[in-house]
Amino acid sequence: MSIETISLSGRKKLVSHKEMSFLERMYLLAIVKGMIITIKHLFTRKVTIQYPEVVRERSPVYRGQHQLKRDEQGRENCTACGLCALSCPAEAITMTAAERKPEEKHLYREEKYASIYEINMLRCIFCGLCEDACPKDAVYLTTSKELVASSYEREDFIYGKDKLVMPLDIAMKNAQLNNAN
């Protein structure tokens, strides 16, 4: 078999070099064919949606934006053990551990905490393995429908504690709800 006739995909078409007829040069048939395809699409079900006005229904196992949890006293759960970073297949998590000072007991639950905790959202594949690996119930993926905001700057996709740590008022509200139940 010559190299010209080999087609790995099986879709190879030989280019015809025969001269076009007058009718073919008018492209009328090609235009009509194209219009038929376009008109056909007007009557088929749309696969696109008008996001963000319309939000597609998510799967029950949908995993959205990460959050670093606080305990019922509003203290950060994370102890900077690094297991989430180790389990991350995309190597998206980095952190710096620090030792808690006596006057910081109301801020951090454990003696060690993450002074810096960052997730690179350009790398993250929202697999949830960090959540599974965490022994302190500190990081989890929320069901937030807001995905990572678009930006032209790479730095905007490095989410630090300012974006990841659960807001204190929400932590306190959750604690109140848990106590009431």
Binding site for ligand SF4 (CB under 6 A): 78-84, 87-90, 92-93, 95, 114, 119, 124-130, 133-134, 136, 138-139
Give the span between the Cα atoms of 133 and 71, in whole angstroms. Answer: 18
Least spacing, CB of residue 142 vs ligand SF4, in Å: 12
Least spacing, CB of residue 14 vs ligand SF4, in Å: 46
Among 138, 167, 150, 149, which residue's Cα sits nearest to residue 68?
138
Q: Which is nearer to ligand SF4, 81 or 171 (CB)?
A: 81
**Beta partners for residue 99, in sequence order:** 112
Q: Please, what's the b/e burial string for 61-94 (b: 16 or more CB within 10 A of its CB; e: otherwise)?
A: eebebbbbbbbeebbbbbbbbebbbeebeeebbe
Q: Which is nearer to ligand SF4, 13 or 154 (CB)?
A: 154
Q: Which is nearer to ligand SF4, 24 or 132 (CB)?
A: 132
In terms of residues, how long is the chain? 181
Q: Which is nearer to ligand SF4, 2 or 76 (CB)?
A: 76
Least spacing, CB of residue 9 vs ligand SF4, in Å: 33
Least spacing, CB of residue 152 vs ligand SF4, in Å: 22
Least spacing, CB of residue 166 vs ligand SF4, in Å: 12
Among 86, 79, 68, which residue's Cα sits nearest to residue 133?
86
Q: Which is nearer to ligand SF4, 1 or 92 (CB)?
A: 92
Among 96, 119, 145, 165, which residue's Cα sits nearest to residue 128?
119
Q: What are phi and psi of 83, to 5 degrees?
A: -65, -35
